[in-house]
Amino acid sequence: MLIRVPVRHDPLPSEITPRRVWDKRRDLIRMAAAGIALPLASGPVNAQTGKPALKLAAVPGPFASTDKPTSYRDVTTYNNFYEFGLEKDEPARRAGSLKVRPWSVAVEGAVAKPTTFNIEDLLKLAPMQERTYRMRCVEGWSMVIPWIGFSMSELIRKVEPTGNARFVEFVTLADAGQMPGLRSSVIDWPYREGLRMDEANHPLTLLAFGLYGEVMPNQNGAPIRLVVPWKYGFKSSKSIVRIRFLEKQPITSWNRSAPQEYGFYSNVNPEVDHPRWSQATERRIGEDGFLTRKRPTLMFNGYAEQVASLYAGMDLRREF
């Protein structure tokens, strides 16, 4: 039996080649348009990226993990983003084709105030917070990521859901001209995910616009993505273009593709194995070597104290 050993990828050209003057100017203009505070040329440098600390104005948020954050390099070069390829290194290499301006997100369905927001309006919708969350992937690897954003509840409050709104569906961009991975038939595009209303309203559920104090890299779901840290990573939709409030539970992409493997809830639960592998342990990217003993997976990814009450009385082996 062949065992595939993860290979440390070579640095990206952007990591070893200085940016040209015109490229720097373009980045600064884009950051300013997004409402991001710019330092002076002699100002601080982001220790993780080596780039000027072009910060999203953010304050520390609640529930922050005390675990050591995964390196910026690993967070931005080891990704699941099938719209740009099935291999972990492909999004970082191919997502440069994604155009994140102009960008709009349509909010529709069972709401009193259906609205189409442009990304600049969304950036101003609520104060930004930095939240360092543990993230767990269904394949058995994990990271700790300092996200920048605000609670999904801020958007929910703005559009005023009606009494019929019981679920929220998230629909992501599907543009074959920008996303070469759409040639794959592994998923019925566009990618769709969903949450129950109480899950979407939970303070942990984040609409994220950046990480490590910088705007969201394309390969991580620019310009806006969902972050639901107590669920497996595929629940956290990337590059969102539509949010729909629904009376009935939506059919999500992975549940449609493989219902025997991926349920609607997808909570991190070490007691419920994936049909093809155990979920009892995990490997932390950047910390746990391939030969290192894996660490135990925590119930609800370690957020049981905050979210377990959402599922009181449910059979979490059946509602997986």
Which carries the bigger pLDDT value, residue 24 or residue 96? Answer: 96
The average pLDDT across 104-122 equals 97
pLDDT tens-place string over residues 157-193: 999 999 999 999 999 999 999 999 999 999 999 999 9
Residue 282's pLDDT band, with cuts at 50, 70 and 90, is: very high
Contact 204, 306 (CB under 8 A): yes
Residue 34's pLDDT band, with cuts at 50, 70 and 90, is: very low
The average pLDDT across 229-250 equals 98
String of b and e for 218-250 (b: at least 16 CB within 10 Å)? bbbbbbbbbbbbbbbbbbbbbbbbbbbbbeeeb
Burial-class residue 117 by CB neighbours within 10 Å (0-12, 13-18, 19+). Answer: buried
The average pLDDT across 122-147 equals 96
Residue 224 has pLDDT above 60, yes or no: yes
Burial-class residue 5 by CB neighbours within 10 Å (0-12, 13-18, 19+). Answer: exposed
What is the predicted pLDDT for the residue at 56?
Answer: 66
Supply 163's token pair: 């009494």
The average pLDDT across 118-123 equals 95
For the ranges 27-31, 65-69, 75-79, the one whose mean pLDDT is highest:
75-79
Percent of the residues in the chain that have a pLDDT greater than 70, as a whole number: 82
Residue 36 has pLDDT above 50, yes or no: no
- For the chain, domains (ranges, CATH) are 13-55 (no CATH), 58-311 (3.90.420.10)
Half-sphere exposure of 301 (CA within 13 A, CB side): 28
What is the predicted pLDDT for the residue at 106?
Answer: 98
DSSP label at residue 169: E
Measured between alpha carbons, how far is 72 from 197 in angstroms, rounded to an integer?
Answer: 32
Element (H, E) at 256: helix 253-257
Measured between alpha carbons, how far is 302 from 118 in angstroms, rounded to an integer?
Answer: 34
Residue 27 has pLDDT above 60, yes or no: no
- Three-point CA angle 83, 131, 295, nearest 5°: 75
Supply 154's token pair: 């801020």
The rounded mean pLDDT for the chain is 86
What is the predicted pLDDT for the residue at 48?
Answer: 52
The average pLDDT across 57-78 equals 89
What is the predicted pLDDT for the residue at 281?
Answer: 97
Nearest to 179 by CA among 222, 224, 232: 222
Measured between alpha carbons, how far is 226 from 214 in angstroms, rounded to an integer?
Answer: 16
Measured between alpha carbons, how far is 56 from 33 in angstroms, rounded to an integer?
Answer: 12
Residue 227's pLDDT band, with cuts at 50, 70 and 90, is: very high
Measured between alpha carbons, how far is 296 from 105 in angstroms, rounded to an integer?
Answer: 38
The average pLDDT across 271-279 equals 94
Q: What is the pTM of this model?
A: 0.83
